[in-house]
Structure 1
Amino acid sequence: MKRHVTLWSLIVLAVVMLAPFLVVALNALKSPAEYAADGPLSFPDGVYLQGLIDFWVRVGFGQKLLNSVVISGSVAVLAVVISVLNAYALGIGRIRGRTWILVAFLIANTLPQEALAYPLYFLANETGLYDTQLGVIIIFTIIQAAFGTYLLSSTFVGFPHELLEAAYLDGANKWQTLVRIVVPISRPTLGVLFVFFFIWTWNEFFLPLILLISNDTQTVPVALGVLQGQRMMDATMTSASALLGVIPAIAFFLIFQRTLTRGITAGAVK
């Protein structure tokens, strides 16, 4: 009985979560005349793709999509690498002042982006990185790596010392121990961090809005916000923009869902 209740509860929850996405998809595939006549909850009489095409052309969505992929992918890879190196020193190396360093990383994660906006703008402008993808990649790599370092340090503290001692007795140095022992065993956790870092960076809006002002450097969320702020879209095109904006993130999540599942399962087993 409890299993049936749990199953139906999950089904209802899934329907509630998917309902807004389905409404957006329906409205993106109907013409403005159908939307005005039948409302947002009606099914379209046919597949109307002109809204998607008009939005793609008006925004230059292909370039924005490439920008988001480059920035999010670069940040995810670099943040995971830096997190591993930091956490290896803090969690396994047990350097002096480890606790205070972790407290600093924790405080950095709690700072609102509004407090970082002007300092980051000033530094980017002074270093010539303002309105460049490289500047945004560096900033978000540091932000995401702060969280990754804090999380992995807690994980590496409980790393089996027998494996480390065996590697040391076999003549492995610290770098070889990291690459051949620590990273392979921690791969599920690192995969989870990679997925989270990619999606979190993809959805970022506030700092990219400030740091990326050129049309050629903007990401997908910034392009959507700027175009909607100019009130240049009808309801159908607005739905098309929302659909195109969320599909890449969903596709990435589905591609790496096994990685995410293995990481969560490995953490549960430990």
Structure 2
Amino acid sequence: MAATLAPARRTPPPAHPARRPRQHRGVGRWLVLLLVGAAALVMLVPFAFMLLNAFKSPGDYSANGPLSWPTEFYTTGLRTYWEQVDFPVKLWNSIVISGSVAVLAVIVSLLSAYALGIGRVRGRLWIIGLFLLANMLPQEALVYPLYHFAKEAGLYNSRLAVIIIFTVIQAAFGTYLLASVLGTFPRTLLEAAALDGAGTWRILWRVVLPNVRPTIAVLLVFFFIWTWNEFLIPLVMLIDNQTQTVPVAIATLQGDRLMDAPTTNAGALLSLLPAILFFLIFQRTLARGITAGADK
């Protein structure tokens, strides 16, 4: 007798995991948004105090303290800071130094990272480790050697000395970051470009650069802001009023035993505005660069 085959049983599909209700997800998002907003408000408190005391007279500040509301709209502090430190000259020096460092450091970082990340230089991991170690050195340990070298090279008290120093410092971080990015660059694109007859420089500018442009844009913004806020090395290297930067100009307002707090707050507010304006102009570039890096 022929054996009859029993019909095969179909296994039921696996049950999908229970999804969280939309209400719970909505509550979680609102909670995260609330925490981020609270953190942003806490970070804005010092700026609020600076803005509050920038338009307060010295007498009002002494009588009512830093937390009181100004009794009058006092703008003499802004004019005093503008004239006393020759703010237009300091602003131009900061723009020249920060802009030059940002552009030069990005170029040096790209060229160095191209050799390390794609060129596969022998001992590349050790070299990248040295760049990482260089970023960990405190500036206090570098001040005296840099001061000595600037004196010997005849670059002391010049903007060029500060530009060279910070180009090297910022390029160390940029090389470390870009070398890590280019280390995972698709080899098929490089091989296809080489088969089409592209040389080393053409591969760099036509293939590699368009793909890492968002990362370079982020580095450009960061290098400018970081250099703008630098204080110690410009304080040591720039001793002339015609070469000093904005952060150094604020320090000149503080005397040995007396400090005009309203004028100092007015100067800090006036010095902060260019950096905020630069950030607002390039915030879309920064957001696109971070988003592109997250997508990759």
Same fold? TM cut 0.5: yes
**2:52 counterpart letter in structure 1:** L
Superposed counterparts of 1:122-161, under 5 Å: 122-161=148-187
- In the alignment, the residues of structure 1 paired with residue 60 and residue 37 of structure 2 have an alpha-carbon distance, to the nearest angstrom, of 31
- In the alignment, the residues of structure 1 paired with residue 200 and residue 281 of structure 2 have an alpha-carbon distance, to the nearest angstrom, of 34
User: Are the aligned partners of 2:53 and 2:262 in contact in 1 as well (CA < 8 Å)?
Assistant: yes
Q: How many angstroms does 1:42 deviate by?
A: 2.5
Aligned to 2:73: 47
Residue 94 (structure 1) aligned to one of 120, 135, 138: 120
- In the alignment, the residues of structure 1 paired with residue 57 and residue 166 of structure 2 have an alpha-carbon distance, to the nearest angstrom, of 39
- In the alignment, the residues of structure 1 paired with residue 64 and residue 145 of structure 2 have an alpha-carbon distance, to the nearest angstrom, of 49
Q: How many angstroms does 1:107 deviate by?
A: 1.5
Aligned to 1:186: 212
- In the alignment, the residues of structure 2 paired with residue 231 and residue 70 of structure 1 have an alpha-carbon distance, to the nearest angstrom, of 33
SS at match of 2:253: helix
- In the alignment, the residues of structure 2 paired with residue 103 and residue 17 of structure 1 have an alpha-carbon distance, to the nearest angstrom, of 34
User: Are the aligned partners of 2:49 and 2:67 in contact in 1 as well (CA < 8 Å)?
Assistant: yes
User: Are the aligned partners of 2:229 and 2:247 in contact in 1 as well (CA < 8 Å)?
Assistant: yes
After TM superposition, the structure 1 stretch with the greater mean CA deviation from structure 2, 100-109 or 87-96, is 100-109
Structure 1 residue runs of 4 or more that deviate by more than 6 Å after TM superposition: none
SS at match of 2:104: helix
2:81 pairs with 1:66 = no
- In the alignment, the residues of structure 2 paired with residue 103 and residue 5 of structure 1 have an alpha-carbon distance, to the nearest angstrom, of 40
Superposed counterparts of 1:204-215, under 5 Å: 204-215=230-241
**1:21 counterpart letter in structure 2:** F
Question: CA 1:217 to 1:231, structure 2 compared with 1: closer, same or farther past 3 Å?
Answer: farther
2:52 pairs with 1:13 = no
User: Are the aligned partners of 2:230 and 2:247 in contact in 1 as well (CA < 8 Å)?
Assistant: yes
- Two-structure CA RMSD over aligned residues (Å): 1.3
2:109 pairs with 1:79 = no
- In the alignment, the residues of structure 2 paired with residue 171 and residue 138 of structure 1 have an alpha-carbon distance, to the nearest angstrom, of 36
Residue 170 (structure 1) aligned to one of 173, 182, 196: 196
**1:151 counterpart letter in structure 2:** L
Residue 134 (structure 2) aligned to one of 93, 96, 108: 108
Q: How many angstroms does 1:43 deviate by?
A: 2.5
Q: How many angstroms does 1:233 deviate by?
A: 4.4
Count of residues paired in the alignment = 270
Q: How many angstroms does 1:46 deviate by?
A: 4.0
- In the alignment, the residues of structure 1 paired with residue 207 and residue 198 of structure 2 have an alpha-carbon distance, to the nearest angstrom, of 10
Residue 226 (structure 1) aligned to one of 215, 227, 252: 252
- In the alignment, the residues of structure 2 paired with residue 37 and residue 229 of structure 1 have an alpha-carbon distance, to the nearest angstrom, of 21
Structure with the higher fraction of residues in helix conformation: 1
2:49 pairs with 1:23 = yes
Aligned to 1:201: 227
> Structure 2 stretches of 5 or more lacking a match?
1-26
